[in-house]
Amino acid sequence: MVIFCMFFSKTKKKTDPIISLESFEACEKPLEKSLEDGSQAFLDSMLSIAQSINLKVYKFKELQVATDNFSTSNHIKGSVYRGVINGDFAAIKKVHGDVSKEIQLLNKVYHSNLIRLSGVCINDGNWYLVYEYAANGTLSDWIFNRDDSGKYLSWKDRIRIALDVATGLNYLHSFTNPPHVHKDLKTSNVLLDGDFRAKITNFAMARSTEGREGEFALTRHIVGTKGYMAPEYLENGLVSTKLDVYAFGVLLLEVITGKEATAFYSDEHNNLADRLSNVVENGKEGLKHLIEPSMLENYPAELAVVVVQLINSCLKQNPTARPAMDEIVQSFSRILTSSSTWDLSSNMSWSQTSTGSS
């Protein structure tokens, strides 16, 4: 996680707080500080907000019971624990700081590809957020896995996950009022449920976009993950839904290559679109050293070329040259349909070959 601070003479009234999701506890203002400052009223108001928007407010004792007192056996990662509430699994995240904006946003949005917040708790100055449980963990656990644990995603799996992520982002961009931008899309912020359907999580940096469609908002604080930040945001603090489009292109590149985005950067090459230009120009031949080796070339080359071309369009330096999220959803819907046909055909061919050889 990289934090940059930039200052402009003219800014919008709203600015982003300086936060870093991977070091959340260090970068956000802790509630303990608020309480020391005599703002018990703040805590009460947050509980009031939670109750007014129909979120269940849990007693801390309930979460202790659900997680077996936050035992190591229920620890998932970071400050997230698995719990059992009313017979169902839940993910319980401990967070320092004011998360009221995230709570209010998640309560307003309801989509199968966005993680669902089901309840909250405040104890000893800490927030505890209760989310739906994603049995298969993060997308990053699957595509960067190197421990021979058997974690593997097929071509069709990867395309369906990409479509899910694109659909979730399109909901934020086109079907929330006002439109919102996630601002921190990456593979570790995409969860996979028991059926490997993707759910975008971690909305701490999400914000509404300002101005009419096509206009940009401006922020003073440049916060994000190395490799995922769009150039216009990194260099000038410009905020629009095209930030998420760029990050989606980076995520998609990681999904089909099995490599982290930083592996594609060098001192000479900091433009990912330029790095992909050779692959785009050479079509199928250019794929051999790009696609995830574990797939053993078990993917439809023609469709893979289309995906690389789509990645390239998402990574354009000029944000206005990038496609909108609804266009990406339409493209991936077609790619998934074609991938399903290819998958069925490949399985039938393999079955016939096996039968013939026996």
Q: Which residues are catalytic?
A: 184
Stretch (H or E) spanning 196: none
Tokens (6 digits) for 333: 């819907």
Q: How far apart are CA 238 and CA 222, in angstroms?
A: 9
CB of 92 closer than 8 Å to CB of 83? yes
CA distances from 17 to 2, 46, 99, 224 (A): 14, 18, 11, 12
Rg (CA), the chain: 22
- Strands (DSSP E) contained in the chain are 2-5, 56-57, 75-77, 80-85, 88-96, 117-123, 126-132, 180-181, 190-192, 198-200, 207-208, 217-218, 221-224, 238-239
Stretch (H or E) spanning 125: none
SS3 349: helix
CA distances from 278 to 30, 111, 227, 243 (A): 48, 37, 20, 24
Tokens (6 digits) for 277: 């230009």
Compute, in degrees rounded to 10, the torsion defined by CA atoms 310, 311, 314, 318: -100
Give 76's contacts (C-beta < 8 A, 6+ positions apart): 82, 91, 137
* Cα-to-chain-centroid distance, residue 346: 31
